[in-house]
Every structure is written in C-alpha cells, then in structure tokens.
C-alpha cells in the first residue's frame, strides 16, 4: 500500500456521523494514504470536532453538500455518510463536479433513485464505492475464495440469516432513526439487511437472480402487545419501568455506553454526562424513552426472502428481529459438498462429499479467529484501504463494492419489499438496462 512517491487521496466528509468518522479515521492511521480536508454537516459542534481531529482549515467547513458544491472541487473524493434518504440528493451535485465517492449503503432508497444516480455516474465517469463492508470481513472473504476455487462445485442452494438482537432492534428499528419508513424512507430489509442480500449476490456471482418472493410483518412491537397498565414514557409515567425488559431504564440507563451515539445524541456535546443529565434528557422528550409498544414504528421485525437464480440455484434469506444476541449464519450446498458457519464465531466448516469415508463426508474447519472481528467482522479498515487503492489504480479487488457491483443486491431488496407489500407475489428481474 505504501508508495513514497504517491500523494494521499484527499477527501471531504459529507455527514459527520458515526460511520463516516470510522472510515475517515483511516487517515489518522495511514496519513500517507488518506487525508481528510473538509466536512459538510449541519451540526456546528460536529464540524468543529472534525476540524480539530483531522486538522483542516475552518474555511473547509460547510453546512451541507450544496454549500460544499458551491466551492467547486476541493478534494479527490467524498466520504458520504448521510442518512439513507439523503444519499441521492447529497451525492448528485458533488458527482457532477467530478468527485469520486465512498457512499454509505443503501446508495438509493428506490429503483428510480438508483437508476438516476447510475446515470449521473455514467455521464461523469466517477469512481463510486458502496460501503458493503461485510464483503471485507475475513469470514466472508475466505468463503468467497473457497467458492472461487471450486471447493463446493456448482452451488445448488444458499441459505443466509441475520438475527437482530432485541436491544439493537428496539433501539434502531423501533424507537430509533429507522423505525418509521415514512420518515427514514427505507424498509428494514434495505436499511439493515441490504448487507446480507449484497453478500448473497456477491457469493453467487456470476449467476444473477431471476425472481424473488418475500413475506414478513410486525410481530412484537405494536400497541395491542403492550403490558396492561403500561405508560407512554418509561421513566416518566410507566409503573412497569423496573420489570419491562424493554424499558429505557434497563436498556439505556443501565448500559449508558452501549447505544450512546443514538440514545444520548442530545448529550454528545456535553463532556462527562451524568446520570442526572440522562434522566433529564428522558424527561425532556428523548425518543428513546418512549414505550416500545407505543412508538410510530412501521418497519417489519421479521422477513423471509426466497430467490431463484439463472443457474437454477435457489437462495433464502431470513431476517429475524428480537433475538437474544446478534448473529449472521450461512449454509451453502454445492454438488461437491456444503459449507456452514457463523460470522460471530469467525469459523466455518466445509463438509466434502467423500464416498470412501465411513461417514460419507470429510470435514474441513476453517478458523479465522486470529483475523479479528473489530468493525463489521474486521472489514472497516480493509474497505477504506481498498477505496484508496481503487481511486489510485482503478483496479477492483475481489471484495470491491464498486457501485455497478451493488446493483443486483439493491434491486433484489426493492423487488423483495414490493413482493412483501403484495402478499408474497413473485417478482421478476430485468437486468437489460444495467448491462
């Protein structure tokens, strides 16, 4: 990666939230590769925090993407970590100026947005990478290499599942930013599990999906399931605040650091926030103090997807919310054997068909526990490194999430949600315009 004659790629942060900063922090560890030179964010304190952290001048602080665009192009690239529904509107004016871009997933919230964004990129020739960071996790990269080597033969079926823990589901997809599709403009499958659908499309390459069907709904968090006597705000008017497993007292006050960037967003500029500060936040309308059963959530908490591929293979994906712990599982069956494992264990098993073995199979265990699991299974830094390499050389690694490689996953999600809304009706694919 190091080239003493190569200048670092310069980048501006657009949307200075949690994910953008994770990718931008790569510049602190590898200043020879990446240099952050500005920020566009409506929050003045966040702009100043990033200015001091990355050492760029105050004149490179902007309130929004449009203000940044008015200055012309001041860097090689943009790291766009705005909210899902803002990706299109914040990307287009900067792409038209010639910026390359690292764009958070999902890169669009509808097929129409996707098509329009792709047309802008085609017209202006930008290099755009999507943050499907799990492609870079050692667990999935290793599985991809096994499939490319032919270890399983031809794939017959691929099964994937994402278990979303009860505290993650309740925080992000009921009380939080992604709970109401009318506000966030995304579905649960698009906001949370487009990672998983993208992984399936990537692992199944070069075969493409031909049809998809999906069903799902809200099982737990709706008003009719509220315990008798429950209030509307946990620490304010609910007599069950100590006993309810989803009470804000148990989820957030008892674990103040677990979801601090969400639950305590109004305290992010207050150093050393006290318990009284947090209680005051809850008294003053903090949305994370709402009764979990009486929120405005409308996104599903469980969904199943069934996919046909043009090779004749089939695939299933299950998103199950409210589990005891988060988990991603995979099971692939091929003509020469099968592969199964759990991302969180960083280990998978290859069971090869072996007609001479007494058991009829021969197991090979691939243990990646030494590879580390920080940051999406170890993928955060690897993705940013690949982005820098892609901009410098134009070469795409096996994991590269260049936007054209992300079309199949996004289209699958859009059609799966359309199927779910139509009671599971089968939806067909047309990739003609994307070739």
* 338 DSSP β-pair partners: 333, 351
SS3 at position 165: strand
pLDDT digits (tens, 9 = 90+) for 199-227: 999 999 999 999 999 999 999 999 999 99
pTM score, whole prediction: 0.93
Each residue of 279-299: b (16+ CB within 10 Å) or e?
bebbeeebbbbbbbbbbebeb
- Written as six digits, the tokens of 290 are 């709402």
pLDDT recorded at residue 399:
95
**Beta carbons of 340 and 331 less than 8 angstroms apart:** yes
| Nearest CA among 72, 98, 66 for reference residue 391 | 98
pLDDT recorded at residue 68:
98
pLDDT recorded at residue 4:
47
pLDDT recorded at residue 379:
81
**DSSP strands (E only) in 343-432:** 347-353, 361-367, 427-428
Residues of the chain with pLDDT under 50: 1, 4
Query: HSE (CB half, 13 Å, CA atoms) of 314?
Result: 4
The residue with tokens 């199944």 is 204
pLDDT recorded at residue 374:
56
Dihedral angle of Cα 339, 409, 163, 153, to the nearest 10 degrees: -10
| Ordered domains of the chain (ranges, CATH) | 9-126 (3.40.50.720), 134-221+297-377+403-434 (3.30.360.10), 230-289 (no CATH)
Angstrom distance (rounded) from CA 408 to CA 322: 28
pLDDT recorded at residue 100:
98
SS3 at position 287: helix
pLDDT recorded at residue 358:
86
pLDDT digits (tens, 9 = 90+) for 58-112: 999 999 999 999 999 999 999 999 999 999 999 999 999 999 999 999 999 999 9
Query: How far from the centroid of its chain's Cα atoms is residue 32's Cα?
Result: 27
pLDDT recorded at residue 361:
87
pLDDT recorded at residue 373:
52
**Beta carbons of 99 and 32 less than 8 angstroms apart:** no
* Radius of gyration of the chain from its Cα atoms, rounded to whole angstroms: 23
């Amino acid at each position: 990666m190091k080239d003493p004659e190569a200048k670092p790629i310069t980048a501006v942060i657009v949307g200075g939230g949690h994910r953008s900063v994770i990718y931008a922090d790569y510049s602190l560890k590898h200043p020879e590769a990446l240099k952050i030179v500005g920020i566009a964010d409506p929050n003045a304190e966040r702009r100043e925090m990033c200015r001091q952290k990355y050492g760029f001048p105050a004149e490179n602080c902007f309130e929004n993407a449009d203000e940044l665009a008015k200055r012309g192009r001041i860097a090689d690239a943009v790291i766009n970590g705005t909210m899902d529904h803002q990706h299109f509107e914040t990307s287009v004016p900067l792409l038209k100026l010639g910026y390359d871009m690292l764009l958070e997933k999902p890169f669009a919230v509808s097929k129409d947005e996707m098509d329009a964004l792709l047309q802008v990129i085609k017209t202006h020739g930008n290099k755009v990478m999507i943050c499907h960071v799990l492609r870079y996790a050692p667990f999935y990269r290793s599985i991809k290499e096994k499939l490319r080597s032919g270890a399983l033969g031809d794939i017959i079926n691929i099964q994937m599942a994402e278990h979303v823990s009860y505290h993650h589901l309740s925080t992000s997809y009921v009380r939080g930013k992604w709970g109401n599709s009318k506000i966030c403009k995304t579905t649960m499958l698009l906001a949370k599990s487009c990672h998983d659908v993208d992984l399936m499309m990537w692992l199944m390459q070069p075969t493409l999906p031909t049809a998809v069907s999906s069903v799902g709904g809200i099982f737990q968090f709706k008003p009719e399931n509220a315990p008798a006597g429950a209030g509307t705000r946990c620490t304010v008017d609910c007599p069950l605040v100590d006993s309810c497993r989803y009470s804000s007292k148990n989820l957030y006050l008892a674990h103040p650091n677990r979801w601090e960037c969400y639950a305590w967003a109004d305290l992010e500029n207050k150093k050393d926030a006290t318990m009284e500060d947090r209680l005051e936040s809850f008294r003053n309308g903090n949305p994370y103090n709402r009764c979990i059963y009486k929120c405005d959530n409308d996104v599903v908490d469980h969904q199943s997807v069934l996919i046909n591929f043009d090779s004749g293979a089939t695939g299933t994906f299950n998103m199950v919310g409210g589990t005891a712990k988060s988990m991603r599982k995979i099971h692939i069956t091929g003509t020469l054997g099968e592969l199964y494992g759990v991302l969180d264990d960083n280990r998978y098993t290859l069971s090869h068909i072996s007609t001479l073995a007494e058991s009829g199979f021969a197991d090979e265990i691939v243990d990646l526990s030494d590879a580390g699991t920080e940051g999406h299974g170890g993928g955060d830094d690897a993705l940013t490194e690949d982005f820098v390499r892609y901009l410098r050389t134009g070469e795409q690694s096996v994991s590269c999430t260049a936007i054209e490689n992300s079309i199949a996953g996004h289209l699958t999600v859009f059609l799966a949600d359309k199927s779910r809304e139509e009671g599971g009706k089968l939806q067909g694919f047309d990739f003609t315009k994307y070739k």
